[in-house]
Structure 1
Amino acid sequence: MEFGSKGNRRKKMLVNAQAEQLYGHCLQFYSQPPIENISLSEFEIFAVERLKLLKTVENLGVSHVKASELYNKKLDKELSNLNFPIRAEADDKKPFSVPSEYDKRRKDHISHFILRLAYCQTEDLRRWFIQQEIDLFRHRFNDLKAQYKKEFLHRNSLHYDTITVEEKNSLTKKLINSSFAVSGVTVKEEDFYKVPFQDALDLVRGRKVYLQEGFVYIPHMDIVTIILNDFRTRLSKALALTARSLPAVLSDERLQPLLNHLSHAYVGQDYSIQKSIGKISLDQIDPLSAKSFPLCTRQLHRALRESHHLRHGGRMQYGLFLKGIGLTLDQALQFWRSEFVKGKVDADKFDKAYAYSIRHMFGKEGKRTDYTPYSCMKVILSNPPSQGDHHGCPFRHSDPELLKQKLQSYKVSSGGVSQILELVKGMHYQLACQKYFELTHNVEDSVFSLNHPNQYFIESQKLLGGPGAGVKVEVKREDNPIPKPSLVAPCQTPAPGNVPQDVAAEMSEDLDSFFQDA
């Protein structure tokens, strides 16, 4: 019994030592990967909530001035709501003594590494992930008290030496004249760091620091710039290494579908279940397309009316959108048949080659999956359009000059076009669409975060009070939209001879629908 007691004490001491090493500070560089076992359920929850946090970081970074009072207040609120660490507390030395604080830091650590796995797969994903993580890190570092900032530097072996009082006094005038937002009072009260100039190129380029003999003198308030450069370098290298080892991770059949869908998982509302389905009539579609359709579905509708045909990607994206705004199956069959027969498809061919896919879309054929309308992330990241296609996101997939012409044809002002193109240049495609909403609806602040084409339609109808305003959408918060792979039911497909060739691609959509990232 005594031996067992000593063993338990040693085990507890080891756990405390590991906790101190990993979570002794509320902020970290994520240098050490987590080594503990976690359940698939916790894996999914951590990943989705970190993704929500990074989406908020992105939206706030474009809609507000970074580090402004309002920006900080809203980001702190989101950190608190999602139960991530906010700032250092008095008991930072022993976070494992306060379970709630320990759990927050553990979640922060593990969730970061999960998203590394999901966002290391392409250059675009890596770039987005790095930018949001840097903005989040900057906010949290700036929120620390001075003593915890110094502790962070010490913990991460960032040996930036402060200059002596004598040296600071001898350089006072030069520091005031050369440093940004530095006064005589600041020089006396704040520490200054002497850093090799190559580690502070951004500050040198902006002429915000004093440079002498290959060293720059950085006030304590600006040391975050140096730390962010270090963090960016470390994270970029880590993502490259993660990408190399990803094939081994994806060989695990439990993780592969989770990670493959996580990079464009939709964490918002489900627009597929409606109480008032059928409230939209077919003769209302044309006026609604001009007033309340987002640009992606507006261009699909226009292409359909002009050519009387859409290829598979366009039919899926537009068909599910129409289903989401209230069209019934009978209305959808009538809508697509009437349009296709105006082109090169007669009614008999339509019934044989296309009607099945529409019924399949409504869950009346195949494995009878009730497909959900595509989210913005799915439109942006999956199945990019090729020549002859009209699906996709115009802000992501259109040539900037063609996009400019399209916006001008829709009477968007020249200033508005410039604002949208600037957002597109920064790869903020959903925010560009939200700006398009504001400009076409004459509102300065749309007060919602756009994540779904059907959300665009509903918000537009709320403002316009049109026929779609009465459509009551039964929405549910998808806090954990990625189900466990073990729950995926086997596909039930019709006999090979009964499936038209045009439907083969629809079958591949079943898994996407199940994962609710549409």
Structure 2
Amino acid sequence: MSDLMYAAAPSEMITLDKLEALTMARLDLLLHVNEYNSDQLEEMDSIYGFYGLRLIIAAIERWETMNSGIAEWWIDQEIIVFQHRLYTRIFTSTETLTTRLLFVKSLLMDFGVEYELKNDVYLVPFQHVPMLVRQREVVLYHGMCHIPPLSSAMITLLMFHYRRQLERQFQTQISAVEFLELSRFNSLQKQVLVMYKESFSQLNNQQPLKRRTTAKELDEVQMPLCMKSLYDHLKRDKHLKYDGRNQLRLFLKGLGFTFDENYAFWKTTFCAITPAIVFEKKYAYNIRHNYGLVGSRKDYAPMNCSAIQNRSAPRPGQYHGCPYKHWEHQQLIVQLQKHVGVDLATAIANTAKESLYGVACGMHLEAVMKGSQTKKMCLVNKVTISHPNFWFDYANQVHNDEAI
């Protein structure tokens, strides 16, 4: 198996102090991965650091009562490391063409990808490259995708399968943690969690906005792309289908909308083309339900990014979901250009294309921050966004700070 994927844990003896040092070095590398070039990543690589950090993060996920988001972040950052190293091996390596082709073939075999090699092109079943099919970035014929071995499409394919492998192995690690004696690692576990939290402390510990957002202010505030799209289509069509209504309605609840405000917002918008009696009959119940006033009486929280991304993809006439996951590549670029320059829009879309949805969303937030000319903009560099309301709160908190 390729040395890029840390096939098996090392068996050589190592002192606890050395393991702790390598684990913390790996964490520091992941926190600043985009600051290094591929050669530096190779020099700093350590299989002990990889396995040590995976074990500690699994222990944190298994025993911490509050979800820190560190596991999702870890997988995203390891994918970035893999992407950098993979790009070097395929495109910039001094190895012979034959060696690079054999390297790609070995990775496909390691991941268990079914394929046929025809005319120097890999024919891969479409289910192995859903993101390429969805974004129409690959030739598809008779259920087989045609992927050149040394191409960006091949990198996307390999990254998709590496992510799945990391997720499976991490779940196995979490299950194993319960049966391991890890008391010697208590100090290391605390160090990892503190370092991770401190790196994003100013992002993850927001103070509430100095003013609560109201319906009249929605046209003036910054919104994450998923909610901005829903809001714009609602204003244009005076209607959204169920999934879109639910996603936006809970987002507004997270902005501080009371039940009365949320009800008035939807009624005012819908009743431009929908009779009031129809609105009350077809749509009002769900608003009450979200606030725990009817039905199960559960007080629903705004959806996080994971919940939005894992729901069914939008069909024609629907606008819910995550733009970075569900939109076609060119559509994403066109929409992002309305908010950022074409070069940055393309860079963000390319990041999303690699299934790094939270990172892409963080790049959009970073662009908003840079536009605000604030000294705080550096704090959001390469952040992985995990919640639309978090994106909103931070972008508009900074905006409010500067207006004071």
Q: Which runs of 5+ in 1 are unaligned?
A: 1-20, 28-53, 77-83, 89-103, 115-127, 140-199, 217-224, 247-254, 256-266, 471-518
2:346 counterpart of 1:413: no
CA–CA separation in structure 2 for the residues paired with 1:56 and 1:317: 35
Shift in Å at residue 316 of structure 1?
1.0
Find the residue that maps to 1:458 and give its secondary structure: helix
2:215 aligned residue (282, 298, 312) = 282
Which amino acid in structure 1 is aligned with residue 368 of structure 2? T
Find the residue that maps to 1:392 and give its secondary structure: coil
CA–CA separation in structure 1 for the residues paired with 2:108 and 2:79: 9
CA–CA separation in structure 1 for the residues paired with 2:76 and 2:112: 7
Shift in Å at residue 441 of structure 1?
3.2
CA–CA separation in structure 2 for the residues paired with 1:438 and 1:310: 29
Shift in Å at residue 204 of structure 1?
9.0
Partner of 2:20: none
Partner of 2:355: 427
CA–CA separation in structure 2 for the residues paired with 1:385 and 1:365: 28
Paired-residue identity, %? 24
Partner of 1:323: 253
For residues 481-500 of structure 1, what are the structure 2 equivalents within 5 Å? Answer: none
Partner of 1:359: 288
CA–CA separation in structure 2 for the residues paired with 1:308 and 1:296: 18
Which amino acid in structure 1 is aligned with residue 336 of structure 2? L
2:385 counterpart of 1:450: yes
Shift in Å at residue 449 of structure 1?
3.4
Give the 3 Å change call, closer, same or farther, for CA 406–25 of structure 1 in structure 2: same
2:49 counterpart of 1:86: yes
Whether contact under 8 Å (1:294, 1:456) holds in the other structure is yes
TM-score when scaled to structure 1?
0.44
Give the 3 Å change call, closer, same or farther, for CA 135–405 of structure 1 in structure 2: closer
Whether contact under 8 Å (1:308, 1:340) holds in the other structure is yes
Which amino acid in structure 2 is aligned with residue 386 of structure 1? R
CA–CA separation in structure 2 for the residues paired with 1:432 and 1:460: 15
2:229 counterpart of 1:294: no
Partner of 1:375: 304
Give the length in aligned residue pairs: 285
Whether contact under 8 Å (1:23, 1:105) holds in the other structure is no
CA–CA separation in structure 2 for the residues paired with 1:109 and 1:461: 32
Shift in Å at residue 135 of structure 1?
4.2
Find the residue that maps to 1:442 and give its secondary structure: helix
TM-score when scaled to structure 2?
0.54
Q: Which runs of 5+ in 2 are unaligned?
A: 1-7, 15-25, 63-73, 114-160, 169-174, 176-196, 372-376
Give the 3 Å change call, closer, same or farther, for CA 466–341 of structure 1 in structure 2: farther
For residues 117-516 of structure 1, what are the structure 2 equivalents within 5 Å? Answer: 132=78, 135=81, 206=92, 208-209=94-95, 233-234=109-110, 236=112, 279-288=212-221, 292-343=222-273, 345-408=274-337, 410-442=338-370, 445=378, 446-447=380-381, 448-465=383-400
CA–CA separation in structure 2 for the residues paired with 1:55 and 1:320: 34
Shift in Å at residue 429 of structure 1?
2.1
CA–CA separation in structure 1 for the residues paired with 2:229 and 2:90: 47
Q: Report the aligned-residue RMSD.
A: 5.3
CA–CA separation in structure 2 for the residues paired with 1:376 and 1:422: 19
